[in-house]
Chains A and B, each alone.
Chain A
Amino acid sequence: MTGSEGNLIPAQDQHLRRMLPNPERVTSVVDNEHIIRSAFASSPEKGFETLFRLYFRPLCSHAVRFVYTREVAEDIVGEVFYQLWKSGSYATVQHSYRTYLYAAVRHRAFNYLRDELTGNRTATSLDDLGDTGQDETPQTLIEYDETFQRVEKVIQELPPQCQRIFLMSRFENRKNQEIADELGLALKTVEAHMARALQQLRRVFLPMGLLFFQFLH
C-alpha cells in the first residue's frame, strides 16, 4: 500500500495524500468524512466518486474475506453503493459514511456466504436485502469477524494443490477445464479438488448451517 501511494493520488492532491492510510500515520477519519460531505454538498455525483475512491478497494478486500470470489465481492460492494444512491439515504447517513458502508457490506457478504453454504441461495438473495445491517449488536459484529476468520482458516488449511485450484477458480475466474489444462491434470481431478474445498468450507459452517436449517422448519 505504502509503495503504491504515489500511483494512486496525483502529487498535486496533497490534501488527499494526507488521507491515505499509512502504518506510520493514523488515517484521519474525520477528514475523510469531511471530504466526502463537502463533495456531496457540491453534487451527489462528486460525493459518490469520492466514496468510491476512498472506500471501494478496502470494502472489496473485506467482502472477499467472506465470499472468496472477487466478482461476488465487487457485486456486493457495487450493490451497496447503488442502494445508497437509490434509497436516497446518502443524504441522511447517520454516523459516518464509513460505518454505513462497512456495516452494509459485511451484512450482505455474511448473508451471501451463509445462503451459499446452507443451500438457501436464490437469484434474488443479492438484490433483495433491504436491511442494510445498520442495527447490529456487539454479538453480530463478533459473529461477522469470526466468520471471515474461519473462512480464512479453512482455506489456509486446504492441501496446497487444492488451495491453488480453489484460488485459481474463484479469483482468476478460470474454468475447471482451463485449470486442468494449465496444471496438466484431469478435469475430474480439478472438479474433485473444488468439491473438496467447498465441502471443507461447508463442514466448518455445519453447526451454524444446521441451526439455520432448524430455524427454517
Chain B
Amino acid sequence: MEDLVNKAVLFDYFSGRVSPLQKKSVESWLSEGSNRELYYQWLHEWEMNRLQTNTNWQLVYEKTAQRINNTFPAVEEQEPPPKTWTISRWGGWISRSGLLAASVALLLMAIGWLFRDALLYKTVRTGFGETRSLTLPDGSAVTMNANSSLRYSRWFGTSIGVGNRTLIADSAHENPRMVELTGEADFSIRHLPNNRRFVVMTPGGLKVTVLGTQFTVFSRERATRVALRSGRVQLTTGQKTTPPLIMQPGDLVTLNRQGKLDLTRTAHPESMAAWKDHRFNFDQTSLREIADILHENYGLVVTIGTSQLAGRTISGSFTAQNANELLKLIAQLLQVNYIRENDRVSFTD
C-alpha cells in the first residue's frame, strides 16, 4: 500500500480529488500508526499553501497571554491582604471620628433597608430564548426555561446561627428551603441529612413541597402545572378548602381556574422538561397553543390569519435553537407562510 500513498496523493485527497479506491488506500495507510505524524505534516503543508484567512496571530497571542496571566498569578494574589489596620490605629481613629463612624453606620443601615430585597434575596432571570442551569447553594440543580425568574434567599441552605437552637432542632419543618418561581423550571433536589424540606412557591398560590426528587414546574399566565419524575412531592394551594395532594412519579397536576388541582397521569413526565435540550414535543398541539409557546419563550406577538389555521395541529418531537428555527420548522410542517418583523409574527395560509 505504501507506494500508493505519497504527498501528491494526500494533497489531492485533502482537496477532495481522489477516487474511492485511493481513499481506501489512504485509510489503510493511516492505520499504520507511524504515518499519523506524516499525515499532519502534509496536512500542515497543504494548508500553508492554501491559507484562506488572514489572521493576526499577535493579537490573539496577546489576548491569550492576558487570559493566562489573569487566571494564574491571581492565585498568588489571594493571600490575606496586609494587615494595616492595627489595634493602636483603631483606637485613635474611633475617638477622632466616632461621630463620623456612627453616621456612616446609620447611612449603611438605611441603604441596607432600602435594598433589603437585593441583599436578602438572589434573583436569577432568563431572557427570551435563553435557558440556564444553576446549582443552588444546597447542591440542588435547577434548569430554567426562557423568560423565567427564580428568587431565593442568599442564606438559602445554610444553617441558622448559634442563637437559634430551637430552629435548628426543628429545622426540617420550620426552616424549609424556599424558592419562588415564575415561568418554567426543572428541579433535581438534593436530599439533606436533616430532612429539610424544599418548597417551590408560584405566583398562582401553588406550593410544591419536596423531599429529594426530580420534577418540572410550569407557572405562567396560561397555566400552572407540575410533573413529577421521581420521588414524592406534596402540593398545597392558597385555598384552605383544598386538601394537600401527594404526587406519585408520572403524575401531572394542573392548577385549574377555580384554584383546584386536576390530576392526570403522563407516561413521559420528562417531556415537560424537553426544553432543557431545546426540544419541543408536540402532541396534537394546535398552532394557537404554539403561538402561546412562542410568546412565553421568545416574547413574540403572534397573529394567525384564520381560526381554521389556528386550529391546525402538529405532532412530533423537534429541536430548535432559537425562535427563527422554530418558526421555520412550524411553517414547513404546516406548509404555511409566515412573516416576522422584530417581535411580531403573522402566519398565513
Q: Which A positions have Cβ atoms within 8 angstroms of B?
A: 1, 21, 23, 26-27, 29, 45, 48-49, 52-53, 55-58, 60-62, 64-65, 70, 73-74, 77-78, 81-82, 85-86, 95-96, 98-99, 102-103, 118-121, 138-139, 141-142, 145, 149, 152-153, 171, 188, 195, 213, 216
Asked if A142 and B30 sit within 8 Å, CB to CB, the answer is yes
> Which size class do B's interface residues fall under?
35 or more
Enumerate B16-40 residues with CB–CB distance to A below 8 Å: 16, 23, 26-28, 30-31, 36-37, 39-40
Asked if B40 and A119 sit within 8 Å, CB to CB, the answer is no
Give the nearest-CB partner of B332 in chain A.
A199
Asked if B52 and A64 sit within 8 Å, CB to CB, the answer is yes
Q: Does B285 contact A (CB under 8 A)?
A: no
Residues of B near A56 (CB, < 8 A) are 55, 57, 60-61
Q: Does B278 contact A (CB under 8 A)?
A: yes
Q: Which of B65-73, B93-101, B157-165 contacts A (4 or more CB under 8 A)?
A: B65-73
Asked if B44 and A152 sit within 8 Å, CB to CB, the answer is no
Contacts A61-B47, A149-B16; A78 near B40 (Cβ below 8 A): no
Q: Mostly helix, strand, loop or mixed at chain B's interface?
A: helix
Asked if A152 and B61 sit within 8 Å, CB to CB, the answer is no
Give the nearest-CB partner of A27 in chain B.
B45
3 closest A-B pairs by CB: A138-B30, A56-B57, A21-B48
Which of A86, A145, A188 has a CB less than 8 Å from the CB of B14?
A145
Give the nearest-CB partner of A55 in chain B.
B44
Asked if B63 and A142 sit within 8 Å, CB to CB, the answer is no
Asked if B60 and A64 sit within 8 Å, CB to CB, the answer is no
* Distance A139 CA – B26 CA, assembled complex (angstroms): 10
Q: Does B50 contact A (CB under 8 A)?
A: yes
Asked if B68 and A86 sit within 8 Å, CB to CB, the answer is yes
Interface-centre pick from A49, A61, A98 (highest chain B CB count, 10 A): A61
Enumerate B315-349 residues with CB–CB distance to A below 8 Å: 319-321, 324-325, 328, 339
Asked if B325 and A119 sit within 8 Å, CB to CB, the answer is yes
Which of B44, B51, B63, B65 has a CB less than 8 Å from the CB of A98?
B44
Residues of A near B60 (CB, < 8 A) are 52, 56, 74, 77-78
Q: Which B positions have Cβ atoms within 8 angstroms of A?
A: 13-16, 23, 26-28, 30-31, 36-37, 39-41, 43-45, 47-55, 57-58, 60-61, 63-65, 67-68, 71, 277-278, 319-321, 324-325, 328, 339
Residues of A near B71 (CB, < 8 A) are 86
Asked if A58 and B48 sit within 8 Å, CB to CB, the answer is yes
* Distance A104 CA – B44 CA, assembled complex (angstroms): 14
* Distance A197 CA – B31 CA, assembled complex (angstroms): 36
Residues of B near A149 (CB, < 8 A) are 15-16
A-B contact list, 19 entries, CB within 8 Å? A1-B49, A29-B41, A29-B44, A48-B64, A52-B61, A55-B44, A58-B44, A61-B50, A61-B51, A64-B53, A73-B53, A78-B60, A82-B64, A85-B64, A98-B44, A138-B28, A139-B27, A188-B339, A213-B319
B349: min CB distance to chain A, Å = 19
Residues of A near B15 (CB, < 8 A) are 149
Residues of B near A153 (CB, < 8 A) are 16
B155: min CB distance to chain A, Å = 29
Residues of B near A119 (CB, < 8 A) are 278, 319-321, 325
Asked if B16 and A82 sit within 8 Å, CB to CB, the answer is no
Contacts A29-B41, A74-B55, A142-B23; A58 near B47 (Cβ below 8 A): yes
